[in-house]
Amino acid sequence: MGLLYTCLKYLVVSLWSIFVIAPFLWAISTSFKDFQSVTNGATYIPWVDFEPTLEGWRALWKSPAKGGVDIVEPFFNSIFVTCAGSLISILLGTLAAYALSRFTFKAGFIRNSDITFFFISQRIMPPVVLAIPFFIMLGKFALLDTLLGLIVVYIVLLMPIAVWIMVDFFNKVPREIDETALIDGCNPYQAFYKVVLPNSIPGIIVAGMFCLIFGWTDFFFSFILTFTEVQLLPVAIVALNSSITPWWSLSAAALVSVAPLIAVAFVVERYLSKGNLSGALK
Amino acid sequence: MAKIELQNIAHSYNPQAADKAYALNPFNMTWVDGGRYAILGPSGCGKTTMLNIMSGIVQPSEGKLLFNDVDVTKLSTSERNIAQVFQFPVIYGTMSVEQNLAFPLVCRNFEKAVIVAKVQEVAGALSLEGLLKKSASKLTADQKQLISLGRGLVRDDVAAVLMDEPLTVIDPDLKFRLRRQLKEINQKYRSTLIYVTHDQNEAMTFAENIIVMDAGSIVQVGSPSELFERPKTTFVGYFIGAPAMNFFECKLEGSHNVSFGGASIITETDLSKTGEATLKLGIRSEYIRIVETAGINTIKAQVQRVEDLGTHKLVSAIFDNQNVKIKVKRDQEVPLDSVSLEFPARHCCVYEKEQLI
Ligand SMILES: Nc1ncnc2c1ncn2[C@@H]1O[C@H](COP(=O)(O)OP(=O)(O)O)[C@@H](O)[C@H]1O
Ligand SMILES: [Mg+2]
């Protein structure tokens, strides 16, 4: 019985691992192939099945004029827009969440929970609904096809996530912490940044991780709101899928685009598994 | 250090509601500078609310708060310079024990040398010296509460130190020592100490004056012996003392007499102005005496049970369908039979509508 259970468990886990890892292996192996190895039937193992080459990777920073695909600029654009959007969202979102958690707002029938819901409701609508209004508004402010325009849109998309996570987090931070800080001689702002904020770093890290993931993986808005001047990585990668698809460069670019997320997940996982998230207070 | 006056203070957490239920009914109270007070009352009677009003965490819906005759009702918590310790440990988890203790001084820009000396002193008083460099989040619950206490005691210029059931999470052994230590600290610095508790023993042994509260009102303010000898209401009689005071439904009989179950009891209370026919007679179980022969102020009660409580015996008897509890010395033999109980006149309290006459 115990043995059967163990076997079954490992079987399920193994199948799941294959399911998750296989696309990566496929992309890694393809990225080292050339035109010949891709088109002449399925091959799997380098040096045995096909002769590996670094051409697919080199093409990533060669200009199209020299036969490359050049995703260096879109890569850094993406990093810049995602980080800036996430940073501002976390900053504003944390402040908003603290206010929503600690102070009581009343405007007619509107209460704190309604305001929190308003933030989250921004993410309930299908993105398509927002695309046209965003397009028109950015057009009015001449922000279409600019990094700044994308950052503004990303803040709108990411801040609800930050507010949502942080309201929940602050609600779990006992009010007595703030009150004690006030008694110990802080004014309300000092109480926030000297006492509450340092205790909230785990929450901020989680919120930041979600912002980075959602920002980084967005394709839809960067596709709609940019044309020629500015290009983000997801759009640049999809653009590679032209009439003669360079599968090797496409695979390499895809791997490059997941790499930062894997790095983030790795760092955060390390941090969370040290038990830093729970037991920060009390 | 200050005299603290609460003038017509009242508080409702929901003042807009149609029937604004007061968490604290309007009241006046003066805390003498340097006094050592205990606030005693059942859970939910408004003790925490009263402390929070004094420290400024809660703005009272009505009334004024004066420190040394200066109106501070509108001042912020930090401007009031008050120390408060909560029921459950509050520590700054990202700081070390030392930084936790120093925080109230650092926030108020004390000189470095003063801070170091005060932190050492408080750490010494609370036996925290060995932990100073440790991260505060890594401590046990009672160590954390010691830090909360330490932060409350580290400034000796405060208007008052407010403590809200601070020893709840601390085990009895340490509790006893800490209570003594708090008493000594109060005597040394003569800072006003207000200590909330629902444990009457704690209140009785610790405080010079006890404030008994019930359902949002102060019922009685007095020294431990006043509360014991002459409870102002039957609630105080029930609440203070173990066992609770004995109360008997009785009838008015003369200018100093009441009767119940056929027995007439003479008291020292002047009852001539009393209009009410039914009263309550209260007497502490410590003052009822078991006597050989029936005489003046005696009743003949049937003993139900005798419990040996180590330091004394607790006798439960019944008379006129009402229970009587009597505390007697351990070595006294009590028959499980009918006995004569004497009610000494000077220990009899008479209550009209639950209020002492
Ligand atoms: N923040 C609050 N909001 C609404 N009602 C409260 C709040 N805090 C306390 N109360 C109510 O006020 C009354 C007094 O509470 P509290 O002062 O905490 O009592 P105690 O400390 O004596 O147990 C209780 O009935 C409680 O339910
Ligand atoms: Mg309380």
Q: What does residue B349 show for φ and ψ, rounded to 5 degrees? A: -110, 135
DSSP run (H or E) holding B102: helix B97-107
Query: Quick one: tokens of B72?
Result: 């501070």
Interface contact B137, partner A, CB < 8 A: yes
Domain B4-235 is found in CATH 3.40.50.300: yes
The pLDDT value given to residue A276:
53
Rg of chain B over all Cα atoms, to the nearest angstrom = 24
**Cross-chain Cβ contact A279/B137 below 8 Å:** yes
Question: Which of A103, A177, A183, A201 would you mutate first to test chain B, the one with the most B CBs within 10 A?
Answer: A183
CB of A75 closer than 8 Å to CB of A256: yes
The pLDDT value given to residue A280:
42
**Cross-chain Cβ contact A185/B107 below 8 Å:** yes
Question: What is the residue-averaged pLDDT of chain A?
Answer: 89
Which residues on chain A are in Cβ contact (under 8 Å) with B56?
Answer: 182
d(CA B192, CA B198): 20
Give the CA distances from residue A122 to residues A126, A129, A147, A156, in Å, rounded to whole numbers and listed in that order.
9, 11, 22, 8
Contacts of B298 (CB under 8 A, 6+ apart): B263, B291, B340, B341, B342, B343
Residue A50, by phi and psi: left (phi above 0), alpha (psi -120 to 50) or beta?
A: beta
Query: Quick one: tokens of A115?
Result: 């305001």
Which pairing describes strands B313-319 and B298-308: parallel, antiparallel, or unpaired? antiparallel
In one-letter notation, the amino acid at residue B132 is L
Interface contact B55, partner A, CB < 8 A: yes
In one-letter notation, the amino acid at residue A125 is M
Interface contact B107, partner A, CB < 8 A: yes
Which residues on chain B are in Cβ contact (under 8 Å) with A169?
Answer: none
Q: Which domains does chain A have, with CATH numbers?
A: 2-53 (no CATH), 72-280 (1.10.3720.10)
Closest alpha carbon within chain B to A195: B92
Q: How confident is the model over A95-135, as pLDDT tens digits?
A: 999 999 999 888 889 888 999 998 888 888 888 888 999 99
What length does chain A have? 282
Going by pLDDT thresholds of 50, 70 and 90, the confidence category of residue A80 is very high
The packing angle between helices A247-273 and A201-217, to 10°, is 170
pTM recorded for the entire structure: 0.82
The pLDDT value given to residue A63:
82
To the nearest whole angstrom, how far is the Cα of A30 from the nearest Cα of chain B?
Answer: 48
Distance B165 CA to ligand 2 centre (A): 7
- pLDDT tens across the length of chain B (357 residues): 789 999 999 999 988 877 778 899 999 999 999 899 999 999 999 999 999 999 999 999 999 999 999 999 999 999 999 999 998 899 998 899 999 999 999 999 999 999 999 999 999 988 898 999 999 888 888 889 999 999 999 998 899 999 999 888 788 888 888 888 888 888 888 889 999 998 888 888 889 999 999 999 999 999 999 999 999 999 999 999 888 999 999 988 888 889 888 888 999 888 888 877 788 999 999 999 998 888 888 899 999 999 988 889 999 999 988 999 999 998 888 888 889 999 999 999 999 988 898
Alpha helical stretches, state H, B217-342 = 224-229, 234-239
Distance B94 CA to ligand 1 centre (A): 30
Interface contact A265, partner B, CB < 8 A: no
Site of tokens 């490059």? A256
To the nearest whole angstrom, how far is the Cα of B28 from the nearest Cα of chain A?
Answer: 24
Q: What is the mean pLDDT of the segment spanning A140-148?
A: 95
In one-letter notation, the amino acid at residue B295 is G
CB of B122 closer than 8 Å to CB of B143: no
d(CA A71, CA A230): 12
Q: Return the number of other C-beta atoms located less than 10 Å from residue A179's C-beta.
A: 20
Which residues on chain B are in Cβ contact (under 8 Å) with A198?
Answer: 92, 94
Distance B162 CA to ligand 1 centre (A): 17
Same fold, B4-235 and B246-356: no
Q: Which CATH class is domain B246-356?
A: mainly beta
SS (H, E, C) A193-260: HHHHHHHCHHHHHHHHHHHHHHHHHCCHHHHHHCCCCCCCHHHHHHHCCCCCCCHHHHHHHHHHHHHH
Q: Which residues share a beta bridge with B135? A: B96
Residue A86 has pLDDT above 60, yes or no: yes
Bigger pLDDT: A146 or B198?
A: A146
Distance B65 CA to ligand 2 centre (A): 20
Nearest CA to ligand 1 atom 9: B49
The pLDDT value given to residue B248:
93
Burial of residue B137 (number of CB atoms within 10 Å: 0-12, 13-18, 19+): middle
Going by pLDDT thresholds of 50, 70 and 90, the confidence category of residue A10 is very high
Nearest CA to ligand 1 atom 26: B44
| Domain assignments of chain B as residue spans, ordered by start | 4-235, 246-356
Residue A13 has pLDDT above 50, yes or no: yes
**Cross-chain Cβ contact B93/A281 below 8 Å:** yes
The pLDDT value given to residue A282:
40
Going by pLDDT thresholds of 50, 70 and 90, the confidence category of residue A281 is very low
Q: Measured in Å, how far apart are chain A's first and last C-alpha atoms?
A: 42
CB of A226 closer than 8 Å to CB of A100: no
